[in-house]
Structure 1
Amino acid sequence: MTQKTYQLTLTFEQILNLVLQLPEQVQEELIQEIKKKSAKKQDGDLLSVFDKIGKNAQAKGLTEEILEELLVDES
């Protein structure tokens, strides 16, 4: 048997309506999975942003010594 897949364009509202038709336990499992993935993505995104900033600064000549001088608290 050959199985075909079709790409459907669904709006957020349509997806939400489909999810609301699922049993309550399945809805809760989906919510937990989304929360886990979104937390991982945010952490990864933030770390990758900092990594990119650091690499760009080093490429422009920033060294650890210069960074230490910039961060000295002179108050």
Structure 2
Amino acid sequence: MLNLVLQLPAQEQEQLIQEIKKTSSNNKDEDLLSVFDRIGRNAQAKGLTEETLEELLADES
């Protein structure tokens, strides 16, 4: 997961960090799988599809 985050532009990394800080204090008892599930649902709700994710993560080296 960290490798994926590090591939994001700096502004998006900062947005993600701020969102994690904001929600982490509200969800202290939430386990890691629940966090990933919630992130996935939020991403899908914002229009992220599996195909789009694959394109974003494609290795262009």
User: TM-score when scaled to structure 2?
Assistant: 0.50
How many aligned positions are there? 33
Where relative contact order (Cα < 8 A, 6+ residues apart) is larger, the structure is 2
Aligned mates of 1:45, 1:73 — CA distance in 2: 30
Percent identical pairs in the alignment equals 82
C-alpha RMSD over aligned residues: 1.7
* 1:28-63 residue CA offsets vs partner (Å, 9 max, x unmatched): xxxxxxxxxxxxxx8x70000000000000000000
Moved >2 Å (runs of 4+)? none
User: TM-score when scaled to structure 1?
Assistant: 0.41
Q: Which has the larger radius of gyration?
A: 1
- Where does structure 1 lack aligned partners over 5 or more consecutive residues? 1-41
For 1:45, which of 25, 31, 39 is the aligned residue? 31
